[in-house]
Amino acid sequence: MKRIIILAVFSLFGFTGFSQETNVYTFFLNIVNEDFKIPLIGFVNLANGNQKGFHLGFVNWNERNFAGVQLGMINTLGADLTGAQIAFINTAIQRVQGVQVGFINTAFREVRGGQIGYINTSKQAIRGLQCSFINTAIQAVDGAQIGYINTAFKEARGAQIGFINVANRKTSGFQLGFINFADTIENAVPIGFLSFVRRGGYFALEVGFSEFFPVTVGFKTGVERFYTTVYLAYQPSRASAKNVYASGFGFGSIIPLGKSVFFNPEIQSLNTIERKNNRQLTSFVPFFGVRFNNHFSLTAGPSVTWSNSFDDGVVLEPVFNISDFEIDRNNRIFVGARAAIRYRF
C-alpha cells in the first residue's frame, strides 16, 4: 500500500532516497506515483505516470498524461494534456487538448484548443487558436493564428491575422496582414499591404498616365480578386509650377466579363513628395480592360479624384480634366480619365 510522507521543508535535505512505492509530500519537493489523489502544492512537483487534478508549483513535471490544471513557472508533460497549462514555459511532449497560457508554449504533436503567449509552437497541426507574438504550426492550421508573425509550414486552412503571415505550401483560408506569403492559393483571398503568392498569384508592372501625372509606374501584387499597388508618379513642370513627384498606394480587383475583357475598379491614394507643401490625391477609377495574351493587357476608364492640401490654396492642379468642383480653397473634386498598359509576370 502506498504511503504518503509529509515532511517539513527543513527536513528535506536530510532525506536520502525514495522508492517507487513511496509518495513524498513536503510542500517544497513533492514526488508522487500514478493517480495521486491530492493536489500537488509545492516548489517542485514531480509526478510519475498518469495524473488528474491540480498542480501548483514553481516547477511542475508529469511523466505521462495529465488531465487538469498545471499552474507554475515551468510546466512539463511527458505525454498528452487534457486541460490547462499556465506558466512562463509550458511543454507537452505529445498533444494538447485544452489550453496553454504562457510566455513560451510548445506542443510536440497537435493542439486541439489554444496556445496563448509570446511564442507558440505546435509541431503538428493547430486545430483551434494560436495567439502570440510568434505563432508556428509545423503542419497545418485548422483554426486561427493571431500574432505578429504567423507561420504554417504546410497548409493554412483557417485564418492567419498578423503583421507577417506565411503559408509555406497552400492556403485555403484567410490571410490578413501587412505582408502575406503563400506558395499556392486555393479559394482564398490574402488581404494586406503586400501579398505574394508564388502559384496562382497576380504580379504585374504597369505604366500609365492620368489627368494629374503623365507618367505613372505601378507594381501590383496579390491575387486577381484583391491586389495592391505601389505607385511612383511624375508631373512635368509648367509655367506656374515646378516638377512634381508623388508616391502612393492603391488596391483593386479584376472581375472577368468574358474571355479577354474585364472590369477593374481601383482606389488610389498618392501624396506629393515636396518639402513645403503636403498635397494628397484620392481617386476612384472604374477601369475596363482587355487582355491581348497571358502577359499584356490594356486598361482605361474615367476617374474621380479628391485633391486636398494642408496649405491654403495650393491643391495640386491637373494637367487636363473633364470637369472640376471646388469645395473650398483646400479641397477640389476633379473628373478625368486614365489609361495604362500592364505586363503580368
Q: Can you tell me which residue has the cell 504554417?
A: 152
Confidence of residue 236 (pLDDT cuts 50, 70, 90): confident
- List Cβ neighbours of 256 (8 Å cut-off, separation of 6 or more): 262
Give the pLDDT mean for 261-277.
91
Say whether pLDDT at 4 is over 60: no
- List Cβ neighbours of 81 (8 Å cut-off, separation of 6 or more): 65, 66, 92, 95, 96, 97, 98, 100, 107
Contact predicate 248/268, CB 8 Å: yes
Instruction: Report the pLDDT value the prediction gives residue 16, as an integer from 0 to 100.
Output: 34
Report the half-sphere exposure of 182 (CA within 13 A, side-chain side).
Answer: 33
- List Cβ neighbours of 189 (8 Å cut-off, separation of 6 or more): 174, 223, 225, 226
Domains in the chain, ordered, with CATH? 3-147 (no CATH), 202-344 (2.40.160.20)
Contact predicate 335/321, CB 8 Å: yes
Say whether pLDDT at 142 is over 80: yes
pLDDT in tens, 179-192: 999 998 887 889 99
187 in the Ramachandran plot: left (φ > 0), alpha (ψ -120 to 50) or beta? left
pLDDT in tens, 85-115: 999 999 999 989 999 999 999 999 889 999 9
Give the pLDDT mean for 47-63.
94
CB count, 10 Å around CB of 59?
18
| Collapsed DSSP state (helix, strand, coil) of residue 196 | strand
Q: What is the largest CA-CA distance in the chain?
A: 102
- List Cβ neighbours of 70 (8 Å cut-off, separation of 6 or more): 55, 60, 62, 77, 83, 84, 85, 86, 87, 90
pLDDT in tens, 284-310: 999 999 999 999 999 999 999 999 987
- 14 phi, psi to nearest 5 deg: -95, -5
pLDDT in tens, 22-41: 889 998 999 999 989 899 99
> To the nearest whole percent, how much of the chain has pLDDT over 70?
92
Q: Give 115-138 as a 3 state SS string.
A: EEEEEEEECCCEEEEEEEEEEEEC
Please say whether the dihedral angle defined by the alpha carbons of residues 248, 254, 259 and 261, taken in this order, is positive or negative: negative
> To the nearest whole percent, how much of the chain has pLDDT over 90?
70
202-209 and 323-328 strand pairing: unpaired
Say whether pLDDT at 217 is over 80: yes
Q: Return d(Cα 273, Cα 243) in angstroms, integer.
A: 10
Q: What's the pTM?
A: 0.80
Contact predicate 172/158, CB 8 Å: no
Q: Return d(Cα 136, Cα 173) in angstroms, integer.
A: 16
Instruction: Report the pLDDT value the prediction gives residue 240, as an integer from 0 to 100.
Output: 59
Say whether pLDDT at 19 is over 70: no
State the chain's mean pLDDT as an integer.
89
Instruction: Report the pLDDT value the prediction gives residue 311, as an integer from 0 to 100.
Output: 73
